[in-house]
Amino acid sequence: MHLCSYNDFYMKLDILAFGVHPDDVELGCAGTLLVAVAEGKKVGVVDLTQGELGTRGTVQTRKQEAEAAAAVMGLSVRENLGMRDGFFVNDETHQLKVIECIRKYQPDIVLCNALQDRHPDHGRAAKLVSESCFYAGLSKIKTQQNGLAQEAWRPKNLFHYIQDRMLPAHFLIDISHVFEKKLDAIKAYSTQFYNPDMGGPETYISTPEFLDSLIGRHRLWGKMIGAVYAEGFISEKSIGMRSLSDLIHNAT
């Protein structure tokens, strides 16, 4: 595993997952990323902020926890863009940072935050990443990496993982065989989630009930597709298939 800096070398990825806070990706789509890694795919994560407004933990502990979670998920790369937690905006400056990442890694699939959610940062980040995916494909928008011009690149698909609000999923991914590793990735954030050995004020996500509800949701989604656990995603565009044969392996 290589945890790279923003100006590091080019690496083509199959899947690039964006999260506004370190731990968003773990909560929303770590299982799907683990499935992809097990299939031999190259997967990376970009955190937009350092989560510095979080009640518990510090920037440094969040960084260490993110690195530990990256190791659990088997990521090829993880980086942080250092945007301001709570105060980043969807403007040209921030879009260019995301565009540079997309062109740097040339992912076929991008995963990102929910379009609407309890935390206002999530929806704002979703729009930022979604619009940046489109603009990354426009050759007249110029960006550079290490002093060299980047090529235009637009991911083939963009999907939003479902977070706190129980939004209707457009499709579900079976994560039954990697679910325990997903929990390990989440629990790598020992300052954020339930940990009887960790002091500090109680927060919305630090109670044991929070993880219980997360597990219950994944069980519910799993039941819907004849699996034990699943993750849910939303697509902004229709998902096409060549024929009904593509659905046969999903029969329950």
pLDDT in tens, 191-240: 999 888 877 788 988 999 999 999 999 999 999 999 999 999 999 999 98
User: In this structure, are residues 220 and 214 in contact, taking their beta carbons and an 8 Å threshold?
Assistant: no
Domain presence at residue 179: yes
34, 124, 236 from 115: Cα distances, Å: 23, 8, 9
Q: Which residue has the tokens 């731990």?
A: 23
Domain membership of residue 1 (yes or no) is: no
pLDDT value at 241 more than 60: yes
**What is the count of structural domains for the chain?**
1
Q: At residue 251, does pLDDT exceed 70?
A: no
Task: For helices 59-73 and 24-38, give the axis angle rounded to 10 degrees.
Answer: 20
pLDDT of 96 higher than 90: yes
Q: Cα separations (Å) of 78 from 56, 81, 118, 120, 144?
A: 22, 10, 25, 24, 20
d(C-alpha 207, C-alpha 182), whole Å:
18
Considering the domain boundaries, does residue 3 fall inside one? no
CA–CA distance, 207 with 154 (Å, rounded to integer): 40
Is residue 243, in this structure, part of any structural domain at all?
Answer: no
Question: pLDDT band at 247, cuts 50/70/90?
Answer: confident
Look up residue 252 and give its two tokens. Answer: 């329950």
Mean pLDDT of the chain: 93
Report the CATH number at residue 116.
3.40.50.10320
Q: Which of 26, 24, 19 is nearest to 179 (CA)?
A: 26
Ranked by mean pLDDT, which of 7-11, 55-59, 91-95 comes out on top? 91-95
Residue 244 in any domain: the answer is no
- 2 belongs to a structural domain: no
CA angle 134, 28, 152 (to 5 degrees): 20
* Domain, as residue range, for 229: 15-236
What pLDDT does 29 receive? 98
Count of CB atoms within 10 A of residue 243's CB?
Answer: 7
| Confidence (pLDDT) at 213 | 95
Query: Is 246 part of a structural domain of the chain?
Result: no
In the predicted model, what is the mean pLDDT of residues 130-156? 96
Whether 245 is covered by a domain: the verdict is no
Could you report the per-residue pLDDT of 23-52, keeping only the tens digit for each?
999 999 999 999 999 999 999 999 999 999
E strand or H helix that includes residue 171:
strand 171-174
